[in-house]
Structure 1
Amino acid sequence: MRVIFAGTPEVAVPSLEALLASDHEVVAVITQPDARGRRGKALHPSPVKEFALAQGLDVLTPEKASDPEFIAQVAALEADAGAVVAYGQILRPALLESTRLGWVNLHFSVLPAWRGAAPVQRSLMAGDDVTGATTFLLDKGMDTGPVLGLLTERIRVTDTAGDLLDRLAQAGAPLLAQTLSGMEAGVIVPEPQSVEDISYAPKLTRDDAYVRWERPAHVVDRQVRGCTPAPGAWTTLPDGQVAKLGPVSPRLHAPRTVPGQVREMDGEVLVGTGTEPVALSTIAPAGKRAMAAADWWRGARLSEGAALGEA
């Protein structure tokens, strides 16, 4: 089968690798244009572009995937199907019609749960026990097309969004390749998504990542893990500076205190919540690298009763 692959971040690379290792022929790769990093003005290619070029593949980087000239360019490739993993642009109907069998998307949830841009993060923050990955045919809706294949993955109590996404990317890669093989053989019957248990996963905002210490410890724990590594959970220090936080751990038997109050106990830095306190792992005050919370505590020399998140 002649396949066009569309993807951008690191989590899309395993799927491209799986397609190259399969019997399918990748005729072109579509990815987002080179972008500037957080520091400096230099442009950097996406992880997918870097990998694709290293494999000698043709790479297309349209500013807008809806551009008629680009769609004509894709149609001229005469591909049997398209494969999409975290590309970053909406594919309009005209582009979806440019391949013989349509475009298959690998989405990191068990649809119709967590349709949208941040399914892994939202699943973690909601406290789900199980998530997964789904392959489905793209249509004009947002993650609404008929399902072709799926897998499930248990969420571990220490998983960050980065941990879970990496596992799903690895597990989902062969699922995508197998789905395309099944379509080629005509043995996969698309199944409409359920109209029940639909949930949505919008992109995380800065406000989503702000830790509200008055919430229960298990909610704070889920929020921080769901925002790790990006966009990064954050709070304010007693002096008003912003600081990013690494994963926290509830301490069920530690004495409760005022939400946000920070103190040292038995070598750990504890912060009060709406229930039991949580222990900080790392903290990165603005402009500084992440450091062990205990090291930060020794240098901060806070007054008794100092609290996070008040400024």
Structure 2
Amino acid sequence: MLGTLRQRLLALFLLVSIIPSLGLTLFVTFYLSRSIAALRNPETENALSQSLEVIREGIERLGNDARQHAEVMALDPAARRLLDAGNVADLERRLRDEARSRGLDYVCLYKVGPPVQRIFGARLGPRITLPEPEQESLLAAREQGGLITGGEAPRQVSGVAPMGKGYMLLAGYQLDPEISKEILSLQKNLVMYRKLGVYTWISERSLWIFAGIWTLVLGLLSFGLAYLVSRGIARPVLELRGGMERVSGGDLSHRVTPSGTQEVRFLGKTFNEMVEELQTSRRALVRAERLAAWREVARAVAHEIRN
């Protein structure tokens, strides 16, 4: 199968060039694939989800507490009498004191419309802001008993309870801004980590596809380089072999052009000198044969003359 020198050189150079590169490519690809896969840790996703769930459960507990406080305050007989009498100032003062004693951050009284109208809102701290819920959210909160405002980053947790006919009471807590930031950070990290799973899946396969393409390109380049190198070495040897065949066939006028490595050029030069010597010896042999033939003729003529 590999009978000629050129074929053997081609196979040798191809193996020498592609095997180390292929091994290094596979090792680096496997190492990078393992490194990417290590980023996808289910425990990290579970930890993020559990942290977010703990915060949400805490907010829900605050909402339940706020709803219970709102229901108790809405059922207060003294507050109901003030509401029925239309004494809004005294009602606000009483609800404010009651909310402060219960540790609430704000209390609001709404008149159910349409439209829904806020009668008063009392802030029980210097940095407390009153919630500004939409009318639909507020009416839904009256049925559900609670309201969380602030969107993805909750700022207030409120409890809602009906108070008399056509009124409802809203009371609750303002969350620490750090809690809102923590919720946003956890949600962002959780979304990014879930995207990371898709990214790692794509990256691993892209990495192996790239490794396959690179191996193919490397194989073609190695084959081309091995072909050129083996051709540069084998061609002068093949030319020298062809010259020997022609000389052995009797063509002493043939000469080879020395090329290739220094050793091969020396062989070509030596071959030409050898052929030159053979040609010179052959010419001398022809002259000697001719002279011998003439001597025989002269000897025969002299013999005939003597006779």
The structure richer in helix per residue is 2
Structure whose CA Rg is larger: 2
Higher strand share: 1
> TM (normalized to structure 1)?
0.18
